[in-house]
Amino acid sequence: MHAYAANVYTTVVEELMKGKQRKFIAVEQEFFRLWWDMVATDTQKQQVHQLLQEGRLEFVIGGQVMHDEAVTLIDDQILQLTEGHGFLYETFGFRPQFSWHVDPFGASATTPTLFALAGFNAHLISRIDYDLKADMQKNKKLQFVWQGSPSLSARQEIFTHVMDQYSYCTPSQLPFSNRSGFFWNGLATFPDPPKDGVYPNMSLPVTDANLHLYAQTMVANIKERAAWFRTGEVLWPWGCDKQFFNASVQYSNMDLLVDYINKHSAEFGVTVQYATVSDYFQAVYSRNLTWETRDSQDFLPYSTEPFQAWTGFYTSRSTLKGIARRASSLLYAGESFFTQYVQKHPEGSICKYKALEQLQSLRWAVSEVQHHDGITGTESPKVKDMYMNNLMYGMLNVKKLMASIIFDINSAKKNGDVYSSVYTKDSGKPGAADVDLYVVVYNPLAWNITTFVTVSVSSEAMSVYDELGRSVPAQVQSSVESQSTYDLYILVAISGLSYRKYSIKPLGGEESAFIGSSVKYQRRALARAGQQSQQLFPVVNSCYQIVFDQNTNLMHSITDRETNQTVQFTQEFLEYHVNGDTKKGPISDNYLFAPNTSAVPVSKAVGLEVMSGSLMTEIRQYFYSNVTSEDYAYAVYTRLYSVPEGYDGKLLCHRIEQEYSVGPLELNREAILRTNTSLNTRQLLYTDNNGYQMQTRPFKAYVNNTVARNYYPMVQTAYIEDDTTRLMLLAERAHGVSSQGNGQVEVMLHRRLWNNLQWDLSNNLTLNDSSVVRPVIWLLLGSKALTNTLYRTSGLALEHRPVVMFGALSGGDKPKLPGQLQQNSVHDLPVTVPPNLHLQTLSIPGWRYSSNHAEQVKSIHMGEQKQGDADFSRVLLRIRHLYEVGEDPVLSQPVVVDLKSLLKGLGSVMAVEERSLTGTWDVNTLERWKWKTAQHPGKRFFNSTETSEDFIVTVHPKEIRTFFVYFQVQV
């Protein structure tokens, strides 16, 4: 910001004002907003308004960041776009209509769908596989109409331009000079710009002596590119990473060159002009050509050359990936909780403006970390720490807000520590024996859920009661984490967007929680595995029987009890050894994965402990590097749940929950968990794009680097299957995943690397990550029909686990339980959607902009746009259909929703407006360009949807529909 970004905006605005022909595109809002709020003068702000109106400054994408496409969740992509678009619309009345997604490492098919829904006319990408790009370039196929979603197909397609082999930077080679190409402003210097304005590595300035040579070089490059595209217009990107911080030097040299070429256009056969992305796409669109369509296949993984597969970042910095997703989940819960509070408790004592600031701190942090050098784990440790600090600060704010809402609603006595937590493993302080603990559990999903929450307690003798003093099923057992505490598992059943309160009392009577019993098995050496006959023992619930082999302490098989199908099933940890010396071959780093051999098994011996109880059995496996090792290197904790009569246990019963402990690793090791099954999968793998849709991943044999090039991102879901049975993996953070053999699936869990590549050393990108990571994966095994009905809801149940908040009341002071906490209270009608829909957003953004475009533009023109208060009466609602067309006979049907009835628990709905994805367009006024294809020869089209009559809307498969909802103001 200090050395580079602020100077870009300050100097570019100054230079644009000096020449009417000059133009510039700006992408990410985070830097621009920081400049606008902290650096820009009133004069510069007026100039920005003028330049935007003249079309000489253009915002493209307009999100908070240029998000990664491989390892981000769809909810977070939409959030960061909405954050950026809201700011631009509020401040300038500007709505981006084009993308510039040039730097993410591979392209997901979710992105074109989202950008179409946001109102974009064309989409621009750059990083796709090197050999695929070469082929498309040769055949003039770098431009096409992309139908990112098979279910939405032509309705949400978008024209897509792939940049050629020169990517998004100006060529850096000059045949007549040993200085780098067309970058006259040199390299940015950190942390301070040079006092004399002379930056290192400044290019040869344009002079009379070399002007013709510069022009020849530029024209030759333009003509080379022209051969790869179908129209006479060539997009020639001018700049690169960290360019234009010294814009006066840049533009003065560019002006000379542009003028010279245009004066000699007859000789060169080329004219050049400054342009924005909008100018370029308008020129291509006006050609009225017929374009090929591309289906929903994505461009992952991404390789830049034979040994450079960018598949390592799917797992890099697993801890950051986990925290980013937990923060996103907490934000989701906090948004709906606050929205309900504002609507139902207008007389509440919480300051809404402060509450909005608390939510905004987490919106900013979650948006920022979606950057393609953020959640990817490809940043330096210092930047990683900044992301972590911002996430933790925002999470603390939202936890405080949620706790204060609970206290305000219940007017509870505020004596005693109040703290809240969102994660099962950092959940609160162990209760002292003389203190009653109570927990408030909020279900952020718009469905009824039955699940377990875990609380850390200090003794085994505990009882749990609900609001009415009834005993609640619970199980307590020794903790995996520490010798001195116990894990208390409480079975909770909670309606959609509701909370329940439970009290935990020590030394309870006969109704105390069930105490899990432990059986420890002798540590087994794996070398002797095949020498004796198997000694098998089963662990059973009503959905599965999991069989373990006592000779190896490894899993042996799983039986799906519904179909009686038994699948042989073994799991082992292995490590890929990778090279760190560039002199000895390809290296792995934050981005790249380049294994030099097959994966090597890591443990010679396995220890086993089984904790069994009436509600849950936990199998703890410890993997040791040899029989005599004191410390284990890896562990798996597998949990199987049994649900008592009277509870809906379908989802809980069908999941095999696994938590892993991995690390610290030795240097240059990449750790995987490989699951081998007897399924005949023909090495076919399925993985998701951003938790939105599935992609088929056939195994491909390459001459080089086959292992790494067959790795794919699993953001939320992956599966393998044969004709009858499917094994699904659901994840709470992103991982790399692959199927390197028939019936096999492997998940990369952790990486620790060091190399001597100069770029990595100078930017601290070697990934010497010595942490221990604790990812969680849920396994589902069953018929395709069964897993289809379960996996989307299960994936969301893992993503949005209940939020647990704690309060402690000392012995004599029993909690008062007001009527409002009882589930059947008229005040708390649950919000429930059908199982094939997801209430993706229910929030109060607090925007100051008018939803009427003419009014918004007028108020900006009059300078009034910042004067109004934040709008708390407007609720942002998004509903997403979870299923593809044809995926399930029942769940793939369109759903009719009565918004008034759905939201009646919040209050009386007065008005609903349907909006574009990020809220800035009224869908009835949104007209996107229709590009001609063989299937659709028409030219223009309206982005028409069925507008809601009487608050009734129909949501079709894979649709995401966004609304502004206005409630009757309660006085």
Is it the case that residue 745 has pLDDT exceeding 60?
yes
Q: Which residue has the higher pLDDT, 484 or 244?
A: 244
Residue-wise burial string across 26-47, b where 16 or more C-beta atoms lie within 10 A, e elsewhere: bbbbbbbbebbeeebeeebeeb
Tokens matching residue 917: 């994805």
Which residue do the tokens 């040993």 mark?
A: 178
Closest CA to 74 of 82, 913, 391: 82
Give the whole-angstrom CA distance, residue 50 versus residue 44. Answer: 10
Angle between helix 5-16 and helix 42-54 axes, rounded to 10 deg: 60
What pLDDT, on the 0 to 100 scale, is given for residue 541? 96
Give the whole-angstrom CA distance, residue 842 versus residue 447. Answer: 14
Which residue do the tokens 């907490």 mark?
A: 330
What pLDDT, on the 0 to 100 scale, is given for residue 149? 96
What mean pLDDT do residues 460-470 have? Answer: 92
What pLDDT, on the 0 to 100 scale, is given for residue 892? 97
Give the whole-angstrom CA distance, residue 749 versus residue 664. Answer: 12
What pLDDT, on the 0 to 100 scale, is given for residue 197? 79
| Contact of 565 with 724, CB cutoff 8 Å | yes
Using one digit for the tens of pLDDT, what is the confidence trace for 949-968?
Answer: 689 999 999 999 999 999 99
The SS3 of residue 694 is strand
Angle between helix 853-861 and helix 74-92 axes, rounded to 10 deg: 50
What pLDDT, on the 0 to 100 scale, is given for residue 435? 58
Give the whole-angstrom CA distance, residue 186 versus residue 515. Answer: 68
DSSP 8-state code for residue 166: T
Tokens matching residue 99: 């993308």
Rounded to the nearest integer, the mean pLDDT of the chain is 92
Give the whole-angstrom CA distance, residue 971 versus residue 906. Answer: 15
Tokens matching residue 494: 């909670």
Instruction: Write the DSSP string, 259-285.
Output: HHHHHTHHHHT-------HHHHHHHHH
**Cβ count within 10 A of residue 676:** 17
> 805 — phi, psi (to 5°)?
-120, 145
Tokens matching residue 736: 């790399």
Tokens matching residue 528: 């002797």
Using one digit for the tens of pLDDT, what is the confidence trace for 425-441?
Answer: 344 444 444 457 889 99
Instruction: Write the DSSP string, 786-846.
Output: HHHHHHHHHHHHHHTPPEEEEEEEETT-PPP--GGGSTT-TT-PPP---TTEEEEEEE---
Tokens matching residue 527: 């070398």
What pLDDT, on the 0 to 100 scale, is given for residue 527? 76
Give the whole-angstrom CA distance, residue 684 versus residue 585. Answer: 30
The dihedral through the CA atoms of 546, 547, 549, 550 has a sign that is: positive
Give the whole-angstrom CA distance, residue 13 versus residue 9. Answer: 6
Q: Are strands 565-577 and 669-677 parallel, antiparallel or unpaired?
A: antiparallel
- Four-point Cα dihedral 165, 166, 172, 175, nearest 10: 60
Q: How many CA atoms lie within 13 A of 480 on its CB side?
A: 23
Region of poorest pLDDT, from 386-395, 423-432, 479-488: 423-432
* Helix, strand, coil percentages, rounded to 5, for the chain: 25, 30, 45
What pLDDT, on the 0 to 100 scale, is given for residue 530? 62
Could you tell me which residues come within 8 angstroms of residue 346 by beta carbon, excluding any fewer than 6 positions away? 969, 970, 971
Angle between helix 42-54 and helix 74-92 axes, rounded to 10 deg: 100
Is it the case that residue 121 has pLDDT exceeding 70?
yes
Give the whole-angstrom CA distance, residue 431 versus residue 437. Answer: 6
| Contact of 456 with 488, CB cutoff 8 Å | yes
Could you tell me which residues come within 8 angstroms of residue 752 by beta carbon, excluding any fewer than 6 positions away? 663, 664, 665, 666, 667, 668, 669, 767, 768, 769, 770
E strands of 578-704, at which residues?
A: 600-601, 605-612, 616-624, 634-641, 656-662, 669-677, 685-689, 693-697
Using one digit for the tens of pLDDT, what is the confidence trace for 178-194?
Answer: 888 898 988 888 888 88
Check whether the bond before 664 is cis (ω within 30° of 0).
yes
What pLDDT, on the 0 to 100 scale, is given for residue 782? 97
DSSP 8-state code for residue 936: -
What pLDDT, on the 0 to 100 scale, is given for residue 948? 59
What pLDDT, on the 0 to 100 scale, is given for residue 192? 83
The dihedral through the CA atoms of 324, 329, 331, 334 has a sign that is: negative
Is it the case that residue 579 has pLDDT exceeding 50?
yes
Which residue do the tokens 């390789």 mark?
A: 303
**Active-site annotation holder among 37, 68, 103, 648:** 103
CA distances from 103 to 71, 127, 222 (A): 14, 6, 22
Residue 510: pLDDT band with limits 50, 70, 90: low
Known catalytic residue: 103? yes
Residue 818: pLDDT band with limits 50, 70, 90: very low
What mean pLDDT do residues 330-352 have? Answer: 95
CA distances from 449 to 591, 592, 740, 793 (A): 38, 40, 36, 10
Residue 678: pLDDT band with limits 50, 70, 90: very high
Could you tell me which residues come within 8 angstroms of residue 744 by beta carbon, excluding any fewer than 6 positions away? 674, 675, 676, 677, 681, 683, 720
* pTM of the complete model: 0.95
Give the whole-angstrom CA distance, residue 648 versus residue 652. Answer: 8
The dihedral through the CA atoms of 505, 509, 513, 516 has a sign that is: positive
pLDDT > 70 fraction of the chain, expressed in percent and rounded: 93
Residue 3: pLDDT band with limits 50, 70, 90: confident
Give the whole-angstrom CA distance, residue 222 versus residue 237. Answer: 11
The SS3 of residue 137 is helix
CA distances from 557 to 234, 836, 943 (A): 59, 32, 51
Give the whole-angstrom CA distance, residue 454 versus residue 424. Answer: 5
HEC letters along 833-875 = CCCCEEEEEEECCCCCCCCCHHHHHHHHHCCCCCCCCCCCCEE
Region of poorest pLDDT, from 210-214, 293-297, 697-701, 935-939: 935-939
Region of poorest pLDDT, from 86-95, 234-243, 415-424: 415-424
What mean pLDDT do residues 230-234 have? Answer: 97
Is it the case that residue 504 has pLDDT exceeding 50?
yes
Using one digit for the tens of pLDDT, what is the confidence trace for 708-743?
Answer: 999 999 999 999 999 999 999 999 999 999 999 999
What pLDDT, on the 0 to 100 scale, is given for residue 426? 42
Instruction: Write the DSSP string, 10-37.
Output: HHHHHHHTT-TT--EEE--HHHHHHHHH
Give the whole-angstrom CA distance, residue 477 versus residue 481. Answer: 12
Is it the case that residue 417 has pLDDT exceeding 90?
no
